[in-house]
Structure 1
Amino acid sequence: MLQTLAANLGPWSWWIIGIVLLAAELVAPGVFLIWIGAAAIVIGVLSLLLWDAAFWPWQLQFVLFAVLAGAFALAGRRFYGRHETSDQPYLNRRGESLVGRTATLHEPIREGRGRIRLDDTWWPVMGPDLPAGTRVTVVSADGRDLKVEAAA
């Protein structure tokens, strides 16, 4: 079947496969099919140049395609896989951004649970039993719960 496809379409079969893969990347983005599509396009270019050469059978084309697809995927992962550090490391981790802040207990901590107000938000807190009005320092964040201790 693959040999028949390659014989009927000639070197354009690789172009068609490459364009279909690139279009599939647009429909289902994931930055993975783009590298396989690019490999197919490269094989298509080589096929246009070498189609009648005796050393360019369809088996070699498929092996070279597989090697190029793997190499392009690894190179793409290395290039796009870099994680740059943000200038706002706590942007989507608001609880963690409050560590080190001090506040006054609005509700006393009883049986390890209480509430404080920081900025415009009420936060549930965990810590040792303390009366309302006590100054506390946030020592850690666990999801929405803040762990506090009496401020020094």
Structure 2
Amino acid sequence: MIASLVTDLGPWSWWILAAVLLAAELLAPGVFLIWIGAAALVVGAISLALWGTAVWSWHVQLLLFAVLSVAFALLGRRYYHNNRNSTDEPFLNQREASLIGRTATLEEPITEGRGRIRLDDTWWSVQGEDMPAGTRVRIASAHGRTLTVENIGS
């Protein structure tokens, strides 16, 4: 069935495959299917010119498609690796890391190494040396949802 469909559609079957792959990239973005879709576009463009020739068999088409897919994926990976943009918000999705260096007042005392502080609108679990409530602390590090604090005085 698929073989007869490809035969009936001729070189346009590559264009349809390219459209399906590019649409799939839009639905599930990951910047991978775009390169395979680009390979299908190139094979489709060559197929428009060479479809009736003896040299343009399905073996050659599939081989060229496979080679171009790998080549485009590697070139795309290199392109994105070399063109990373620096951001003005490096901790956008790392809220805990953005808190390092901030100061706060202990809302609850640290007893047996555990306590809580309030930063902005969030309560945070903290660990550090035992300190009474009301002590000014600086956030030294973050490990998941637990912040390590150090005493900077009252």
Shorter-normalised TM-score: what interval? 0.7 to 0.9
Contact 1:3 1:58 in 2 (8 A): no
Unaligned segments of structure 2, at least 5 residues? none
Match of 2:111 in 1: 110
27-36 vs 131-140, which moves further: 27-36
Alignment CA distance shift 1:12-1:100 (3 Å): closer
Contact 1:6 1:58 in 2 (8 A): no
Alignment CA distance shift 1:4-1:103 (3 Å): closer
TM-score of the superposed pair, with normalisation by structure 1:
0.81
Match of 2:76 in 1: 76
1:128 CA drift (Å): 1.0
2:15 alignment partner, SS class: helix
Q: Give the Cα separation in 2 of the matches to 1:107 and 1:94.
A: 22
Alignment CA distance shift 1:16-1:116 (3 Å): closer
TM-score of the superposed pair, with normalisation by structure 2:
0.80
Q: Does 1:151 align with 2:152?
A: yes
1:110 CA drift (Å): 0.8
2:141 alignment partner, SS class: strand
Query: How many percent of aligned residue pairs carry the same amino acid?
Result: 64
Report the residue type matching 2:33 in the other structure.
Answer: L
Q: Give the Cα separation in 2 of the matches to 1:23 and 1:122.
A: 43
Q: Does 1:53 align with 2:31?
A: no
Q: Does 1:31 align with 2:31?
A: yes
1:147 CA drift (Å): 0.9
2:117 alignment partner, SS class: strand
| Structure 1 residue ranges (4+ consecutive) displaced by more than 6 angstroms after TM superposition | none
Alignment CA distance shift 1:9-1:102 (3 Å): closer
2:71 alignment partner, SS class: helix
